[in-house]
């Protein structure tokens, strides 16, 4: 059974513009319109980069609903609906399906973690509650649990389990996963420094932090690869590496919020426990953004 990709190319893991008084919807709308105009292929709303973990339940739902309405079908909208409480993830997934999100990004449970058996049971429960495709999100550096290739294989072909956002950083494990799941699960890079390596293993794109500040650059890396210009894609990947590293020199989304604020898209405001970027790191980030012609 083959699987239709949710998107092909770049999905921006979008920031959520915040102020001391709440979500800045006017700024969010402007950022959405700009991202689409710059050529990104999908938008991820209220994920890690969108500070979904510190949005209230009401804000989380409202941000997804607003974004679906603002996008108005121009690109797929992928809603972050993962939780370490499966019942909450089911509830949020149902809501996001109802308001028109095109797919769900579902992270592994954090803190309480899970066995591989528990991951399979959790993802099946959320998939059963969903009317839209799920993208399984593996980021063990944040959650403390890794989805093993055999677990992907056990979920491949299950209704509504469509794709993987793979951010474990382990290319060998990603190759093993690709060998096991074939075309039953679409693989997306969850790391901006591994776009080309994962595309070379049959991946269909990236869920990107880089594309917040440099959407055209991220899109061009993918488009060069898809055109068959693998060397050109690899060259751009390497040229982008210092900027990517600067965007992750402090925990995401601290640096990208600073970068987007410098571009005038939002306030440099984050919710605790996140705090604004250290001045010396911010100066280096902005220097690299200038070098790429972004500022």
- Residues 219-236: pLDDT tens digits? 999 999 999 999 999 999
- Identify whether 25 is a catalytic site residue: no
Q: Yes or no: say if 48 and 142 are a contact pair by the CB < 8 Å rule.
A: yes
> Which fold is adopted by the domain 9-228?
TIM Barrel (3.20.20)
pLDDT at res. 3: 72
- Average pLDDT value for the chain: 97
pLDDT at res. 179: 97
Per the confidence metrics, is the pTM higher than 0.85? yes
Catalytic hit among 137, 152, 188, 257: 137
Give the contacts of 175 (CB within 8 A, at least 6 positions apart). 201
Instruction: Say yes or no to pLDDT of 1 above 50.
Output: no
Q: Yes or no: say if 100 and 117 are a contact pair by the CB < 8 Å rule.
A: no
Instruction: Say yes or no to pLDDT of 154 above 90.
Output: yes
pLDDT band at 22 (very low <50, low <70, confident <90, very high): very high
Instruction: Say yes or no to pLDDT of 87 above 80.
Output: yes
pLDDT band at 47 (very low <50, low <70, confident <90, very high): very high
Catalytic hit among 65, 132, 152, 165: 165
Instruction: Say yes or no to pLDDT of 189 above 60.
Output: yes
Instruction: Say yes or no to pLDDT of 2 above 70.
Output: no
Instruction: Say yes or no to pLDDT of 14 above 50.
Output: yes
Mark 185-197 as b/e (b = at least 16 C-beta within 10 Å): bbbbbbbbbbbbb
Instruction: Say yes or no to pLDDT of 286 above 70.
Output: yes
Q: Yes or no: say if 43 and 71 are a contact pair by the CB < 8 Å rule.
A: yes
Instruction: Say yes or no to pLDDT of 103 above 70.
Output: yes
pLDDT at res. 56: 98
Q: Yes or no: say if 101 and 69 are a contact pair by the CB < 8 Å rule.
A: no
Instruction: Say yes or no to pLDDT of 110 above 50.
Output: yes
- Identify whether 165 is a catalytic site residue: yes
Give the contacts of 264 (CB within 8 A, at least 6 positions apart). none
Q: What is the mean pLDDT of the segment spanning 261-265?
A: 98
Query: Rounded distance, CA 216 to CA 221, Å?
Result: 9
Q: Yes or no: say if 5 and 165 are a contact pair by the CB < 8 Å rule.
A: no
């Amino acid at each position: 059974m083959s699987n239709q990709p949710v998107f092909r190319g770049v999905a921006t893991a979008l920031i959520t513009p915040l102020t001391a008084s709440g979500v800045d919807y006017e700024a969010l709308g402007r950022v959405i319109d700009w991202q689409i105009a710059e050529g990104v292929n999908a938008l991820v709303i209220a994920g890690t980069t969108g500070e979904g973990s510190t949005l209230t339940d009401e804000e989380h739902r409202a941000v997804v609903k607003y974004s679906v309405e603002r996008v108005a079908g121009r690109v797929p909208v992928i809603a972050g609906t993962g939780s370490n409480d499966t019942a909450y993830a089911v509830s949020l997934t149902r809501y996001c399906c109802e308001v028109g999100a095109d797919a769900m990004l579902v992270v592994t449970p954090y803190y309480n973690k899970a066995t591989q058996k528990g991951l399979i049971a959790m993802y099946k429960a959320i998939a059963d509650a969903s009317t839209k495709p799920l993208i399984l999100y593996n980021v063990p550096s944040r959650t403390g649990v890794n989805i093993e290739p055999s677990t992907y294989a056990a979920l491949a072909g299950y209704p509504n389990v469509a794709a993987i956002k793979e951010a474990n950083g382990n290319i060998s494990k990603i190759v093993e996963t690709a060998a096991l799941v074939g075309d039953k699960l679409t693989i997306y890079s969850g790391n901006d420094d591994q776009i080309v390596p994962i595309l070379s293993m049959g991946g269909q794109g990236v869920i990107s932090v880089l594309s917040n500040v440099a959407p055209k650059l991220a899109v061009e890396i993918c488009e060069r690869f898809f055109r068959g210009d693998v060397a050109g894609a690899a060259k751009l990947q390497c040229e982008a590496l210092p900027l990517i590293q600067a965007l992750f020199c402090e925990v995401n989304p601290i640096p990208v919020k600073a970068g987007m604020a410098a571009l005038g898209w939002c306030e440099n405001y984050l919710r605790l426990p996140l705090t604004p970027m250290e001045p010396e790191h911010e100066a280096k980030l902005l220097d690299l953004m200038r070098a790429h012609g972004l500022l």
